[in-house]
Chain A
Amino acid sequence: MVKRLLFLGIFFLVGCLIFGAEYRIGAVFAVTGPASWLGDPEKKTVEMLEEEINSQGGINGIPIRVIVEDTKGDETQTVNAVRKLITRDRVLAIIGPSRSGTTLAVIPIVEKYKVPLVSCAAAEAIVKPVKKWVFKTPQTDRFAVEKIYQYMKKKGIKRIGIITGTTGFGAQGRKHLLALAPKYGIEIVADETYAPQDTDMTPQLLRIKAKNPQAIVNWSIVPGQAIVPRNMKELGMNIPLFQSHGFGNIKYVKAAGEAAEGIIFPAGRLLVADLLPDTHPQKKVLMEYKRKYESRYQEPVSTFGGHAYDAFWLIVNALKAVGPDRAKIRDYIENTKNFVGTGGIFNFSPEDHNGLDIEAFEMLTVKNGKFTLLGD
């Protein structure tokens, strides 16, 4: 017993020495595994920012330490990682998780331990209804759908066909597409789906074609968003094709080849940072993040890294202002207004823990194999 106490005492002392003067922030990302395309840029982003802050002397002279845990995109591992961060590392706040499913899994824990969590996952269910300690930085899918419908309304498009993947992302998009259509006076004349392993969407497109819609909305992740445009071209369908904000990676344009020309989709502004007018309030933040990330990692920035960037600064700004107190950090984030991030301009409130609206999206199109602003 004495031995054990002694051991614990030494352990505690060593712990104090190692962890003494630093602010600890936890980060849980799907760095490896099937969702690593989310977690990898997120991890790289927070590591870059951690180094940047510490090289400038930390926060009020105290260095920060971001403890990154890999969740492999798995719910159980995420729950364990968050528990570890809270109980063993005693972090002040948590960035992540990367996926919506993993975020929903850890909400009960952070609520119980009262630790602010800024998720990098998009699902609306994360912040609706509002949970006291949970925030998120990505734009909500619903706003992407509204942005598309707003544009259609302006162009007089009233009859559309939708085709969605049966993945979580596709199913969520389909739900919003169906629910919001009446609000914009749009009629969905065809509603088709496809599975992730499907190689040919011709049958679904034929069904849509038979209903004679004015436009098609395809909501999925790759490879569906490259195959649908190609099949449409093979069938000689010339009506406009709208895709989700998930299309925002120039590599997907390459995968769709010529068929990508003219695809219209909503996206955050990070992708077209250099095309924005200099007067745009986000321009400076976007260009800075893009330049730093790309020169350091030699790979293009992704929207997902941007979500971690926004989450990081929300927490660090709060830490700067109110010091190492979880409850005060939470209150500060909740009252943050006009925070210019990569995802948009955030205005949080007790009723809104995402802080973004439809204006966070910009309509883009593909021209000569490149993204450009759609304009009017």
Chain B
Amino acid sequence: MNWQNFLQLVLSGITIGSIYAFIGIGFNIIYNTTSIINFAQGEFVMLGGLILYSFHQSFHIPLIPAILLTLILVTLIGIGMERLTLHPVKNPTVLNMIIITIGCSIFLKGVALSIWGREVYHLPFFFPRPPFRIGGASITTQSLVVWVALIISSAFLYFFYRFTLLGKAMRACSVNPVAARLMGIKVKSLITLSFALAAFLGGLAGVTITPISLMDYQRGSLLALKGFAAAVLGGLGKEFGAILAGMALGITESLVAGYISSGYKDAVSLLILLFILFVRPGGIMGSKEEISLREL
């Protein structure tokens, strides 16, 4: 195969990888506040895609307002989920909370199933024009939309967590909730906020990737598996880590499928994941000390 095909494979890999990364950063937000993995993250993505479908295709709301409405709704669902299930728990341990999110995931999937059924839904590209050609390889406009949204979101998160008081307070909640509370941080409110943020980003991921990946009630959790791999590989809690890892996973999958065999692509990417975690247990960007400092 020539370099033109190579370029195409890399571009497809980046498209696939940016989807993983986008879903992966959602995991980071809740992890940054609570040290838990939110297993309902994939459902936020699914809801983003399906709600936008309903607003845009069924109620014929123009695209931009439909997206805004979708994001607001998904954010509210995220807040509602946290307020109704995690918030009332008296002594929240990490394990308790993780199990609650699994319950929420099953519940949200069930609700989606009863509303949208088992159909696969698709959305038109936001900018309907033929794919761009770069050196003989093609890239769709929607892939660019995903990249731009991904980069803006992660830059925003980076600055939010590093340079704002609120962001720092949220990270403090995860490192040591008791100490954070002693410092006057309202831990519970910040957890609610982190679910709102995670739902918002999950919804945004769903909105932007649905034109590429299509969406049905259980596709969110399937994609979330790979997103979770990206988040872990990049180092949980590290926004740019998730992007780097997502891209690495996507490009590896694409190149393996293109040059070796499509049957092995998941196996190879998971092997790489295992290997990296073996060498660097904290992920690409995470450090070992940071992991060992956390109380579980």
Q: Is the CB of B138 within 8 A of A235?
A: yes
Q: Which of the residues A193, A199, A203 comes within 8 Å of B263, measured between beta carbons?
A: A193
Q: Is the CB of A203 within 8 A of B258?
A: yes
Q: Within the complex, what minimum Cβ distance (angstroms) separates A306 from chain B?
A: 18
Chain B residues with CB under 8 Å of A257's CB are 122, 124
Q: Is the CB of A227 within 8 A of B214?
A: yes
The chain B residue with its CB closest to the CB of A254 is B122
Are A223 and B118 also in contact (CB < 8 A) when A196-B222, A202-B254 are? Answer: no
Chain B residues with CB under 8 Å of A36's CB are 113, 118
Sample of 20 A–B contacts (CB below 8 Å): A192-B262, A193-B263, A195-B265, A197-B226, A199-B19, A200-B16, A200-B213, A202-B12, A203-B255, A203-B257, A203-B262, A207-B258, A222-B120, A222-B214, A223-B213, A234-B140, A255-B120, A255-B121, A255-B122, A257-B122
Q: Which of the residues B8, B223, B258 comes within 8 Å of A197, measured between beta carbons?
A: B223
The chain B residue with its CB closest to the CB of A234 is B131
Taking A37-B118, A194-B257, A210-B1 as known contacts, 19 extra A-B pairs with beta carbons closer than 8 A to each other, sorted by chain A number, are A34-B218, A166-B263, A192-B261, A193-B262, A193-B263, A194-B262, A198-B16, A199-B209, A199-B213, A200-B254, A203-B9, A203-B254, A203-B265, A204-B258, A206-B5, A222-B216, A223-B120, A226-B120, A256-B122
Question: B interface vs A, CB < 8 Å?
Answer: 1, 5, 8-9, 12-13, 15-16, 19, 113, 118-122, 124, 131, 138, 140, 209, 212-214, 216, 218-219, 222-223, 225-226, 253-255, 257-258, 261-263, 265-266
Chain A residues with CB under 8 Å of B9's CB are 202-203, 206
Question: What string of 1s and 0s marks CB contacts (under 8 Å) between A201-218 and chain B?
Answer: 011101100100000000
Question: A interface vs B, CB < 8 Å?
Answer: 34, 36-37, 163, 166, 192-200, 202-204, 206-207, 210, 222-223, 226-227, 234-236, 251-252, 254-257
Q: How far does the alpha carbon of A251 sit from the alpha carbon of B13 in the complex, in Å?
A: 28
Q: How far does the alpha carbon of A199 sit from the alpha carbon of B265 in the complex, in Å?
A: 13
Q: How far does the alpha carbon of A37 sit from the alpha carbon of B253 in the complex, in Å?
A: 31
Q: Which of the residues B120, B124, B223, B257 comes within 8 Å of A199, measured between beta carbons?
A: B223
Q: How far does the alpha carbon of A163 sit from the alpha carbon of B257 in the complex, in Å?
A: 12
Q: Within the complex, what minimum Cβ distance (angstroms) separates A218 from chain B?
A: 13
The chain A residue with its CB closest to the CB of B254 is A203
Q: How far does the alpha carbon of A111 sit from the alpha carbon of B24 in the complex, in Å?
A: 50
Are A197 and B120 also in contact (CB < 8 A) when A202-B254, A203-B257, A207-B258 are? Answer: no
Chain B residues with CB under 8 Å of A204's CB are 257-258, 262
Q: How far does the alpha carbon of A163 sit from the alpha carbon of B262 in the complex, in Å?
A: 10
The chain A residue with its CB closest to the CB of B117 is A37
Chain B residues with CB under 8 Å of A222's CB are 120, 214, 216
Chain B residues with CB under 8 Å of A252's CB are 120
Q: How far does the alpha carbon of A198 sit from the alpha carbon of B213 in the complex, in Å?
A: 8
The chain B residue with its CB closest to the CB of A166 is B263
Chain B residues with CB under 8 Å of A254's CB are 122
Q: How far does the alpha carbon of A195 sit from the alpha carbon of B253 in the complex, in Å?
A: 11
Q: Is the CB of B122 within 8 A of A199?
A: no
Q: How far does the alpha carbon of A34 sit from the alpha carbon of B117 in the complex, in Å?
A: 11
Chain A residues with CB under 8 Å of B223's CB are 197, 199
Chain B residues with CB under 8 Å of A163's CB are 262
Q: Is the CB of A206 within 8 A of B258?
A: yes
Chain B residues with CB under 8 Å of A199's CB are 15-16, 19, 209, 212-213, 223
Q: Is the CB of B120 within 8 A of A203?
A: no
The chain B residue with its CB closest to the CB of A252 is B120
Q: Which of the residues A192, A202, A227, A256 comes within 8 Å of B8, measured between beta carbons?
A: A202
Q: How far does the alpha carbon of A234 sit from the alpha carbon of B263 in the complex, in Å?
A: 23
Q: Within the complex, what minimum Cβ distance (angstroms) separates B223 from chain A?
A: 6
Q: Is the CB of A226 within 8 A of B122?
A: yes
Closest 9 CB pairs of A and B: A199-B213, A197-B222, A203-B257, A202-B12, A203-B258, A223-B214, A255-B122, A222-B120, A37-B118
Q: How far does the alpha carbon of A124 sit from the alpha carbon of B252 in the complex, in Å?
A: 37
The chain A residue with its CB closest to the CB of B266 is A195
Q: How far does the alpha carbon of A203 sit from the alpha carbon of B256 in the complex, in Å?
A: 9
